[in-house]
Amino acid sequence: MRPMERSNFVDQIKIFCRSGHGGAGSKHFMRNKLTALGGPDGGDGARGAHIILKGNTQLWTLLHLRYYKNVLAEDGGNGAGNNSSGKMGKDIIIEVPLGTIAKNEETGEIEAEILHDGQEIILMKGGRGGLGNSNFKSATNQSPEYAQPGEDGEEGFKILELKVLADVGLVGFPNAGKSTLLSTITAAKPKIADYAFTTLTPQLGIVDYRDGKSFCIADLPGIIEGASEGKGLGHRFLRHIERNSVLLFLIPADSKDHKQEFDILRNELEQYNPDMLQKDFVIAVSKSDMLDDELKEAIEKELPKNIPHIFISSVTGQGLMQLKDLLWETLNTIVE
């Protein structure tokens, strides 16, 4: 089942793109039965087609582009006599999920970022069309014998990379109970099993809150010590939590050392990108149905004092409404 799960979520692809060349301007002179030696009437060449990225909220992965390896846009048409301009190349629009970035494969530079539904960004511009010879007529040159060629389009490999857009990102070691929590408080149905790295790809769910309100939460692939160096699922996981407004650290009640587990997770985020530490943190102690009040007090003493925490159980429902309240309050404090 794992290979299939991985294949259904495609978060990075490489495609070769070539925008259209501009059409050549025409070098033409008016000639008909009434005009033996007419003036220049060469039309302009048309612009080559652009390659455009467009945001689409109905898409969640790049799966639909998996076999879309070569994107070749139309060239612009050449100009013709009688001041006829060429036909413009038809732009190619590539629809992508929100959170998609496009990088230059050679330089690694981010060239586009799609964040809104319907947002369009030109990834590669088509070449400009050349001017026909009618544009170069002057008092001193009544019969220009030249026209401009069209400009070449652009070409090269692009990396499209998806970073999941969610309000809350679930962070925790494998088997911390993230998938179980997501399936309990949202309509998402993530794969759940009692072994490490069950969640190989991000799972998104919408949390129904009070008075018809809602927010988006993402269960992300489990992090292990050394993820920032590429161990485990490494950067593929960490890439997806860069955008989350709030990070919810899920630490199981039966952890041997709750503080150490939190410190390892926090350190991995810092090693990958120090800006991660600017986000708002919330700690949830999962599997708390096995704790009595005395054990809860002992665990509380281990947790950081400056980070809000809550005890929850996805099995019994303990603390889940309070967790929603806490996340909603934290999210809206950020917005304000």
Predicted confidence (pLDDT) per residue in 11-64, tens digit: 789 999 999 999 999 999 988 777 667 789 999 999 999 999 999 988 877 888
Arithmetic mean of pLDDT, 177-205? 60
74: pLDDT strictly greater than 50: yes
Per the model's pLDDT, the better-predicted residue between 222 and 105 turns out to be: 105
Arithmetic mean of pLDDT, 80-100? 94
- Which residue in 268, 242, 253 sits closest to 309, CA to CA? 253
Query: To the nearest whole number, what is the mean pLDDT of the chain?
Result: 83
pLDDT in tens, 112-128: 999 899 999 999 999 99
Q: Which CATH class is domain 2-162?
A: mainly beta
Does this model's pTM top 0.85? My answer is no
Instruction: Determine the Cα–Cα distance for residues 174 and 196; give it in Å rounded to an integer.
Output: 5
CB 303 within 8 A of CB 309: yes
Instruction: Determine the Cα–Cα distance for residues 299 and 312; give it in Å rounded to an integer.
Output: 13
CB 121 within 8 A of CB 112: yes
For residue 169, give both structure tokens: 């990102």
Please enumerate in sequence order all residues whose Cβ is within 8 A of that of 53, keeping only pairs 6 or more positions apart, or say none: 93, 94, 96, 100, 102, 112, 114, 120, 121, 123
pLDDT in tens, 196-248: 333 445 667 778 888 878 888 877 665 554 544 555 444 555 666 666 789 89
Residue 4 confidence (pLDDT): 34
335: pLDDT strictly greater than 50: no
Give the CA-trace dihedral at 104, 108, 112, 114, to 10 degrees.
120
The domains of the chain are located at 2-162, 168-335
Burial class of 175 by CB neighbour count within 10 A (0 to 12, 13 to 18, 19+): middle
Fold (topology level) of 168-335:
Rossmann fold (3.40.50)
